[in-house]
Amino acid sequence: MFKASKLLRERQYFQREDGTPLHYTLVNNKDWCKNDFEVISQLRINTENSHQRYDIILLINGLPVVQIELKKLDISPRKAMQQIVDYKNESGNGYGNSLLCYMQLFIVSNKTNTYYFANNKNQHFAFNADEQFLPIYQLADESNKKITNLELFAEKFLTKCTLGSMISKYMVLVESEQRLLIMRPYQIYAVKAIIDCIQQNRGNGYIWHTTGSGKTLTSFKASTLLKDNTDIEKCLFVVDRKDLDRQTREEFNKFQEGSVEENTNTETLVRRLLSTDYADKVIVTTIQKLGLALDGTNKKNYKERLEPLRNKRMVFIFDECHRSQFGDNHKAITAFFPNAQLFGFTGTPIFDENATYQIREGEEASYKTTQDIFEKQLHAYTITHAIEDRNVLRFHIDYFKGKGTQQPKPGEAIAQQAVVEAILDKHDAATNSRRFNAVLATASINNAIEYYNLFKEVQKKKQTENPNYIPLNIACVFSPPAEGNSDIQQIQEDLTQEKEDNKQNPEEKKAALKTIIADYNKQFGTSHEIYLFDLYYQDVQRRIKDQKYSNKDYPHKNKIDITIVVDMLLTGFDSKYLNTLYVDKNLKYHGLIQAFSRTNRVLNDTKPYGNILDFRSQQDAVNQAIALFSGEDKGKAKEIWLVDPAPVVIDKFKEAVETLGVFMQEHNLVSEPQEVYNLKGDAARIAFIKNFKEVQRLETQLDQYTDITEEQKTKIEAILPSKLCKSSEVPT
């Protein structure tokens, strides 16, 4: 299937009998509207092991590329999805040994609900209860209003040119995984907006797509489509940190092997900027290397060497543009490249309310916003949209109250001892018995060091008192004093607090970090040194992501349970297995949303939401941030962003258990696990699974609440003993 998908898009060659070459393509890739389109209905393919019938097949130049399965109004499209999965799993099916291997897209509908998804190999093509394994899409318009009616969907999606563009431009073949990706509607609208802006030479613009919505894929596709635009000299994708440079390159090369090379230094960047090689047309670099290249005082004369590019049309795409563009680098780029167009991606734009960078004109000072830099918003897909689409998770926020009667004021720090004890008490519940891991955000480097030492002390005492206590593996990461080290200086560009902290008593901080790294080496059998800090930082990030492996495959001793940070990891870092953020620092607006969003990547039913345990009573700051970044529908934003409080979920849990009990009684069965196997017929089993999954979902949600009281725990246990729910199995 993957090989056929490549053949569909690539130029082919064979040698005629007379020895002359013939180059050909199976479809017209440059102008898909000029291909021949056909529709066939009720195609049957019978083999020795399978008898399959397909409702509608769309052919392009005689090749079947789209399959449409239709159901009656009273039947869920889920049934059609399962039918396709079953067809593909049958031995001898047509998808593997006929022209159906060219199938790119599946569309399913019951007239009112219409979905589509990409074809893939079987390991990338399966469902769990919530269709999380197989990305399924609904069409939407530019404002993210869903288009689910079949007739409206067909008018918008199935015109020749639109369908052709969807397959040729907006599907990505991930070589490293042998997998097909189809871009989501909002990603396509963003790419189109950028390309149109460039083709019409309409200045700059920014894309507001929330953190976790796939900005890297969107920017990759925009960059690669620009490769074939002869009016554009270069397209640079600019990040603001070395670790994001590495991360973005890996993502780009995952989407298309060898699409971008590493710029090991500024010299390499300048060489590639001057290169006429097609492979060097798209470049991923850091804002710091770009700044050095345009620094006229640099002894290596980079700026002088780049003079031939001065008046060329250059395109710059900035990741998290509010971080990298509010300063001298922006002026340097626009001054040297007067014909450049600048595009920014951000999950949290800078508005008047959250602007902190001032610009002065005469005697007046004003704050700079994203719109000041990039002129206009080209497309928006907010966190409200993403939560509604289940592309990211909602948040559960526990504002820590402590045991006393006197509560801290908003933003006020509480005793670190109380924080550590609360974390150790709540961590297993918050992380689903350490299936996930957490980050502790602290207010300063000194605080991070104090917390690290306190965790060591408290856990050592616990082990002494209880030999069976299994300690949490605690790591700590903050940047050391730069002392002229260019790598550290580059890392600290976006680490405001750490950069400032390292100016005070730098030797003390360096000594503490050496001790922390030595402990890390002892724990994990590594040999990191402070002078190669970036390797240590990379290793910490890798171990956080290693949480995805079970303890059986990768023992707990090799993993990190909690990482203590100041600024690091709170922006740009992604791990589906990080689900909890402990907060002991004051956060506001974009900083708050960025930090919280480290926890809300979608995984499966075991991760129902991102967990936030706030030790600074920052309800007002949270409400302000939600209001600012919710987009159009501010009234419902809080309801969409946050999960229900525990009492509400407990009531829902009770109702779900009662509904399951009534269902079992209707089938003359008692509510005991062994009775499940006495259910008769597919309809009864499907209904049971639906009811049981709802009970299980709510129980998992309650299990990870960190603010459940003892009284509430007793109530939950009385509704349904936990061992009873966990011992039940879903019949298949």
Question: Which element (helix H / strand E) includes 718?
Answer: helix 710-719
Asked if residue 428 is part of any domain, the answer here is: yes
Asked if residue 170 is part of any domain, the answer here is: yes
Is the full-model pTM beyond 0.75? yes
Q: What is the pLDDT of residue 706?
A: 87
Q: Name the amino acid, one letter, at 400.
A: F
In this structure, what DSSP letter does residue 677 have?
Answer: G
Q: What is the pLDDT of residue 365?
A: 46
Report whether 237 contacts 282 (CB < 8 A). yes
Asked if residue 232 is part of any domain, the answer here is: no
| CA 13 – CA 35 distance, rounded (Å) | 20
For the chain, the domain total comes to 3
Asked if residue 521 is part of any domain, the answer here is: yes
pLDDT digits (tens, 9 = 90+) for 643-692: 988 899 999 999 988 888 888 888 888 777 677 777 787 778 778 888 88
CATH number at residue 542: 3.40.50.300
Domain interval for residue 704: 646-727
User: Helix, strand, coil shares of the chain as percentages rounded to 5?
Assistant: 45, 20, 35
Q: DSSP states of 464-506 as a string?
A: HH-TT-----EEEE-PPP-TT-HHHHHHGGG-HHHHHHTTSSH
CA atoms within 13 A on the CB side of 583: 33
484 shares a domain with 444: yes
Question: Which element (helix H / strand E) includes 696?
Answer: helix 682-703
Q: What is the pLDDT of residue 331?
A: 82
671 shares a domain with 635: no
Q: 641, 670, 702 — which closes off a domain?
A: 641
| CA 422 – CA 399 distance, rounded (Å) | 12
660 shares a domain with 626: no
Coil vs helix vs strand at 395 = strand
48 shares a domain with 178: yes
Asked if residue 454 is part of any domain, the answer here is: yes
Report whether 263 contacts 280 (CB < 8 A). no
DSSP bridge pairs for 345: 207, 319
100 shares a domain with 1: yes
504 shares a domain with 554: yes
State how beta strands 474-477 and 314-319 pair.
unpaired
Asked if residue 233 is part of any domain, the answer here is: no
714 shares a domain with 622: no
Q: 641, 671, 688 — which closes off a domain?
A: 641
616 shares a domain with 499: yes
pLDDT digits (tens, 9 = 90+) for 607-622: 999 999 999 999 999 9
Q: 604, 620, 641 — which closes off a domain?
A: 641
| CA 378 – CA 708 distance, rounded (Å) | 43
Q: What is the pLDDT of residue 359?
A: 47
Q: What is the pLDDT of residue 361?
A: 45
Closest CA to 413 of 267, 643, 617: 617
Mean pLDDT by 10 residues, the chain (732 residues): 86 87 87 90 80 91 94 89 85 81 94 93 66 76 94 95 90 84 94 94 94 85 86 87 60 59 76 90 84 84 93 89 60 90 91 69 60 92 91 93 73 89 95 96 97 96 94 96 80 85 94 97 96 93 93 93 96 92 95 94 90 95 92 77 90 90 83 75 79 87 88 87 54 50
684 shares a domain with 630: no
514 shares a domain with 411: yes
- In total, the chain counts a number of residues equal to 732
Q: What is the pLDDT of residue 393?
A: 94
State how beta strands 37-46 and 51-60 pair.
antiparallel
Report whether 6 contacts 173 (CB < 8 A). yes
CATH number at residue 154: 3.90.1570.50
| 509: number of Cβ within 10 Å | 22
